[in-house]
Structures are given as structure tokens and as C-alpha cells.
Chains A and B, each alone.
Chain A
């Protein structure tokens, strides 16, 4: 058994989700069309919503968003609302020097040499436009930047509600205002292809209820200008993620919404798209085994990692750079084991003086997924951590805060300047959860889906966001998904309506 299999009974692991029935693409010849739209957008998260708004702004009409779930927003509505962009108003205000080049360099490093530099550069160069779209629609952000793991400078905005819903809801309202047709409980079931293998339309099931695959009515929709697939990742598809990484069993917790099962991506493979980086499935190193999904601890941890330490309960010592990229941290956490080899979630220790600056601190304490201690002795006793090594570790770490140099793990101490670890402390337990699939279909910087046999775009087929692959390589940096989703959604609209 893989090491992740021992999590049973700890994390609020998602129940195994039955794999939905696969959709089926077919020739369009002879089809009786039920309806026609100019642009069909599949999925209602950041990418789909941004595509719809941009298409409207460019004069597009007859645009419909199809969402298979009852609620709009997908994972975008439940994520941390963290948006990285270079050369933003907050960076100007804080005097931070940044550029697309710097942002791309950070991402390429995390991608370990296999990220797509062209797409990353395209996203970085247009990220401010996407951020502006959210501001125009009414999204509100904290008045400070955060520096997430793997980023060399602070460049991350976060919504005041610390959640992607703070963006999806304004964008949804904007769509309604602009006259985009929104259809929930409508599942994409396949492409309808012309004789050259290009997309002529789509087949959808109206009146779909998640988990009941044969209800509702099939509808054939002719698409005049383009289909934009913006259906997100496949982290909730147990079979598919285990095919890439057998340790990602149903017992491994997942931060995703239930609908993140990946069928539209598979359908694009069926019609010729190239699968890229499917095995690079990222776990969130900020997640907690004490609550379900993304919960509250995720945002709490993301905010506090720069000025906190993570310690192994058996040793009382640090074991990683707390702001390294996600894969580095997740792998390091997974190695924390008890004497029998069972998972032993590490502790993140923070000064309450710092943690209380972010609204999630109140929440994690209130809902019992975090703890507060007035002394290191009380903390050590509660979690069974050896006291002397822990005290020594805290003292050493405070030395790094003072000197600005982490001699243990090379952590960038700039964000921890002046933020000493001192009582009272707040503590959370950490354990990675499946979070993001770097893999998906290959696209070019114009958001066109490429055919595996010809290397050319598949006619009228576009994709944006987490359903695409290759962009981030091995490890996606935190807060880089929203800019990618939105910029590539906007790009798909621009390509279609150029």
C-alpha cells in the first residue's frame, strides 16, 4: 500500500465518487439541431465567466454558459480567492518591483523545467487586465499583498472574503447584466463533428442531476463560432487520478467541488486533443486533516506560512522551508510518520500576534480546527512534542528572523522580518489534500486546442483554465490559477471574435 493509504479515519476524506458515465462524440451529419448559439462555454468558473464577459465586450452575441452542477462557480467559488499579478496598483503602492519576467521565472522554477513558458508569459502579461475585470465587476480585495510559496516577491491579491466566491459572484452578476445565457443542471455530453473532425456543435443533457447520469433530455446545439471548454480539473475522479498516481486513493482528502471529474477533458482527447502532464497532480500543503475540503485552515496557513514554522511532532524540529513551492512542502509533510509509520500531521506554529491579523484565525479557533496556547510548554504537552528540542528550534528560528538568513532550509525571511515566534501561539495541523491537476489538453497561447495527429488547432475548439495541461509543469505556484483561468478565458474569446 502507498503511504497515502494510511490516512483513513484522519482527514475528512471524500467518499468515493462513482465515475460518471462517459459522454460520446459523434458525427454531426444528419443531426437535427435543437438550438444554435455563437459561442458555447462549458463550465461556469473563472475561465468560463471571464470568457463570456470578454466575448460580450468584443461585441459577441448569442453566448451560453453550460454548467452541469446545480450551482455556478465550480472550484472557483470555493477556492482561496488569491490572485497573483505583476505590476498592480497594490505593488505600486507598496513599492514592490515586479514584472512578467520575474513572475514567469518563479513559475518556471516551480515547473522544474517543463512548464510552458509561452503561455505563462502570455498570462503574466495580461494578468492585470483580468484583475481589472474583477474590480470592474465589483470584486473587493484586502488592502495588502501576500507572498505565497515559490514567489520571489509579494504579488498576490486576496478577496476580502478570502474566497473565490468574492470573484465568481461579481462575474456572474456581470454576465447576467450583459445578457449571457446561463444554464445550470446542463451537462456537456459530447462534440458533434464535421467531416474534417472539426467541431460543429455539442450535445448536452438538460435537467441533469449530478450522480443520476441518465435523467433529463438530450439536446443538439449547433455552435456558430466556437466551443470554449472551461470545465476545470479532475481531482474528484478517483479512477483517473489513481491511473496517474496509484497513491491518490479515495482515502486521500480532496479540496475540490464534487463536479471536478474531468469528462469533458476526456472527450477532447477522444476528438484528438493531446494529453499533457496528466500525472502531475498537486496536493495542497496548507490543508488540514481536521476539516473537510479547503475549509478555513487552508487560507489561514497560506497567510501565516511566511512568518511561522512547521514542526515534526516526534522531533519538535522544522523539516522544510515553509514557503517553498507546493510539491516540495507536500512531499515533506507526507514523510511525517509516527513510530508505526502512520501519518503524523505536522504542526504549524504561529505567534498569535501575527495570526490574528487575518480573519481566518478567529474561524479556525472557533471551529476547533486550530488551537491557542499561552506557552510553548502548554503547546508541547497538548501535542506530545518533545519540549527541549522545540524550545531550541524556536530560539534558532528567531535568530533567523533577526539575521534574515535561514540556515536550516534557506527560507526567504523577508516577509518574516521583525515577526518573532513568541507566546501566545496559534497552532494548526497540516496534511496535504489533492488540489490541482497540472495535466489536461494541450493548447497554444491563443487558447486553441491542438490535434495530436496534425499539431494544428481543432476547428472551433478552445480550452481555458485547469482543464488544459502543460502550463505549470510539475508544480503550480499558489495564486497563479485565477490569472491563468481568466486570461486564457479572455484569450479564447479574443481568438474566436478576432
Chain B
């Protein structure tokens, strides 16, 4: 009986942990929720990297992201072919390469791709 309960608990924890980490990148970072792919910044409490100041009170500038992530490279990485060509989220039909990153990518909050306001495109690698 003890063994069974222990196993159940272990399984439950394992499933829970698995569910938490399988695709979810938005986790509790202490003072704020934040992305695991920016873990280095949180480890060093380096808000300045994005916000430009140590104790931010507002959104980062739209060009903060592109200091590290180049839009041309991103557009090449998410390139689509044929009649899906203009569904490239980083070089799209309506706005080209001009969408500020934070319109789709939330650092401290979940977001949906801007496209999903009107379209049913599939972006399997998008981190909600």
C-alpha cells in the first residue's frame, strides 16, 4: 500500500513536471514571470538588457529585441514556400518585416501571433 501510494505520487509529479516543461517557456522567475530562453538575464537580474534601465517601469523600446536577434536572419529561418510564402511571420503579407517583436512575443505574459486575429495558420514552433 505504501509502495503504491509512493508510485502514484511519483507518477503524478513526473507527469506534472513533464507537462510544465515540455513546451512551456514562461515560468516563475522570482519577481516576474519570464522566458526560459532568456534565463541568463534572469540569473543575473539584468533587466537592462531589454528595458535599458535597471528598474524598468514601462515597455522596452521596439528595437531592443533586434540588438540580439536580426530580423533578416529570422525571416530566413521561418521562410515558407509556394502559396505560403507570405505567411512567414517575420516577413509577411500585410507588414513585411516591420512588425515590432513584442506584438507577438510576450516576455512576461502569454501572447498569440498577430496573424491569429484573422487567420487559422499553423505556427507549430511559436512559444505561447
Contact = CB atoms under 8 A, between A and B. Distances in A.
B96 A169 contact: yes
B100 A70 contact: yes
Contact of B86 (A161, A294, A367): A161
Interface stretch (A71-79, A132-140, A332-340, A438-446): A71-79
Interface residues of A, number: 31
Give the most central of B83, B98, B100: most A CB within 10 Å: B98
Interface string B2-42: 00000000000000000000000000000000000000000
Given A163-B93, A215-B58, A71 B103 contact: yes
A77 B117 contact: no
Interface in B82-101: 83, 86, 93-96, 98-100
A293 B94 CA distance: 14
Query: Interface extent on B, as a size class?
Result: 20 to 34
A209 interface: yes
Contact of B83 (A163, A359, A369): A359
Interface in B44-69: 58-59, 62
Nearest to A169: B96
B1 interface: no
Contacts of A72: 95, 98
B120 A291 contact: yes
B53 to A, nearest CB: 14
B125 interface: no
A258 B94 contact: no
B120 to A, nearest CB: 5
A294 B116 CA distance: 12
A293 B118 CA distance: 5
A96 to B, nearest CB: 29
B119 interface: yes
B21 to A, nearest CB: 31
Contacts of B103: 70-71
B94 A70 contact: no
B119 A295 contact: yes
Nearest to B100: A70
Contacts of A294: 118
Nearest to A367: B120
A165 B96 CA distance: 9
A209 B59 contact: yes
Contacts of A411: none
A50 to B, nearest CB: 18
A362 B83 CA distance: 9
A407 to B, nearest CB: 39
A417 interface: no
A224 interface: no
A78 B118 contact: yes
B86 A71 contact: no
Contacts of A291: 118-120
A41 B70 CA distance: 31
Contacts of B120: 291, 367-369
Contact of A293 (B58, B99, B117): B117
B94 A165 contact: yes
Nearest to B82: A362
A212 to B, nearest CB: 9
Give the most central of B86, B94, B120: most A CB within 10 Å: B94
A60 interface: no
A73 B59 contact: no
Give the most central of B93, B99, B116: most A CB within 10 Å: B93
Contacts of A163: 93-94
Contacts of A367: 119-121
Interface of A: 70-73, 77-78, 161, 163, 165-166, 168-169, 172, 184-185, 207, 209, 215, 258, 291-296, 359, 362-363, 367-369
Interface of B: 58-59, 62, 83, 86, 93-96, 98-100, 102-103, 114, 116-121
Given A169-B95, A184-B100, A367-B121, 16 more contacts: A70-B100, A70-B102, A70-B103, A71-B94, A72-B95, A72-B98, A73-B94, A165-B94, A168-B94, A207-B59, A209-B59, A291-B118, A292-B119, A294-B118, A295-B119, A369-B120
7 contacts: A71-B94, A71-B100, A71-B114, A77-B95, A78-B94, A184-B62, A291-B120
Q: Which 10 A-B pairs have the closest CB atoms?
A: A293-B118, A165-B94, A292-B118, A77-B94, A70-B100, A71-B95, A165-B93, A70-B103, A367-B120, A169-B96
